[in-house]
Amino acid sequence: SAVISQKPSRDICQRGTSLTIQCQVDSQVTMMFWYRQQPGQSLTLIATANQGSEATYESGFVIDKFPISRPNLTFSTLTVSNMSPEDSSIYLCSVLPSSGNTIYFGEGSWLTVV
Amino acid sequence: GENVEQHPSTLSVQEGDSAVIKCTYSDSASNYFPWYKQELGKRPQLIIDIRSNVGEKKDQRIAVTLNKTAKHFSLHITETQPEDSAVYFCAASRGLGDMRFGAGTRLTVKP
């Protein structure tokens, strides 16, 4: 499986600010995704990060709030914009390797908005 | 879109007993069904998966069964141990990596 590095691993953010989370993979992968896991909840797909083009967002998530970049096959960023306490969650990067159907997760970025 | 339902939300068993978690899905085009285990404070980890052309798969103490007609699949853990205590998530996908997850089952194995 791919080695996925996410940073920051944890942060406390002020209301109204924005934070960018980085995801780096040690090998080229077919697809990269961003998930959100609110406290005690399941994993919800935010968007698919497309290499060299705009991300594909799921219902309920918009580019203005969660801008995503993927400049190459091994790196992606997710920005959480204009944060409110409701954005306090774990944000997880995940990847689909070139072979197989299974996605693997990064260690997650734990954001607390105060 | 795909909707995955998972039951029960919590499950408590005695060490050595079996545990069964059930999921249903709505999208008949889904063809890949993984199960993830998430321990407190850690990332979800794949424990077993099954594809739509297979009815059952087993890996030591864990097994997964799939009924495509009824659109449901189940996770079976035998001879449970305290280290099996975690939250388990089922998921469904069309094979493109865009997983839809169930709500999760918190399994507690009492020693």
The pLDDT tens digits for A37-88 are 999 999 999 999 998 889 999 999 999 999 999 999 999 999 999 999 999 9
Interface of A with B in 65-104 (CB under 8 A): 92, 94, 96, 101-104
Contact B32 A101 (CB under 8 A): yes
Mark yes or no for CB contact B97/A104 under 8 Å. Answer: no
Residue B95 has pLDDT above 80, yes or no: no
pLDDT: which is higher, A101 or A92: A92
Which residues of chain B approach chain A closer than 8 Å at the C-beta? 1, 32, 34, 42-46, 49, 51, 89, 93, 95-104
Is the pLDDT at A2 greater than 90? The verdict is no
What are the two backbone dihedrals, phi and then psi, of residue B2, each rounded to the nearest 5 degrees?
-70, 140
- Label residues A7-27 b or e (16+ Cβ within 10 Å = b): eeeeeebeeeeebebbbebee
- Asked if the Cβ–Cβ distance from B43 to A48 is below 8 Å, we say no
Question: In whole angstroms, how large is the CA radius of gyration of chain A?
Answer: 13
Q: Name the pLDDT band for A6 (thresholds 50, 70, 90).
A: very high
**Spatial separation of the C-alpha atoms in residues A51 and A76, rounded to whole Å:** 9
Q: Which of B91, B95, A8, A44 is nearest to B105 (CA)?
A: B91
Q: How confident is the model at residue B25 (pLDDT cuts 50, 70, 90)?
A: very high
Looking at residue A98, what is its pLDDT?
A: 80
Asked if the Cβ–Cβ distance from B98 to A45 is below 8 Å, we say yes
User: In whole angstroms, what is the distance from residue A35 CA to residue B32 CA?
Assistant: 18
Using CB atoms within 10 A of its CB, is residue B108 exposed (0-12), middle (13-18) or buried (19+)? middle
> Given an 8 Å threshold on Cβ–Cβ distance, is B43 in contact with A102?
no
Residues of A in contact with B89 (CB under 8 A): 42-43
Cβ-based neighbour number of residue A43 at 10 Å: 25
pLDDT value of position B75: 98
Q: Which residue among A42, A106, A107 sits closest to B101, beta carbon to beta carbon?
A: A42
**With an 8 Å Cβ cutoff, are A33 and B46 in contact?**
no
Residue A29 has what pLDDT?
86
Assess A48–B contact: CB distance below 8 Å, yes or no: yes
- The Cα of A44 is separated from the nearest Cα of chain B by a number of Å equal to 7
DSSP state of B93: B
What is the model's pLDDT at position B94? 87
CA distance B90 to B75: 8
- pLDDT value, residue A45: 93
pLDDT, position B67: 95
Residue-by-residue DSSP string for A14-37 = -TT--EEEEEEESS-EEEEEEEEE
**d(C-alpha B58, C-alpha A73), whole Å:** 34
Report CB contact under 8 Å: A103, B97: yes
CB B74 within 8 A of CB B63: no
Which of A37, A43, A91 is the mutation pick for testing B, counting most B CBs within 10 A? Answer: A43
Does the pLDDT at position B44 exceed 80?
yes
What is the tens place of the pLDDT at every residue in B48-92? 999 988 899 999 999 999 999 999 999 999 999 999 999 999 999
Long-range pairs of B40-45 with CB within 8 A, sequence gap ≥ 24? B40/B86, B42/A107, B43/A92, B43/A105, B43/A106, B43/A107, B43/A108, B44/A43, B44/A92, B44/A105, B44/B89, B45/A105
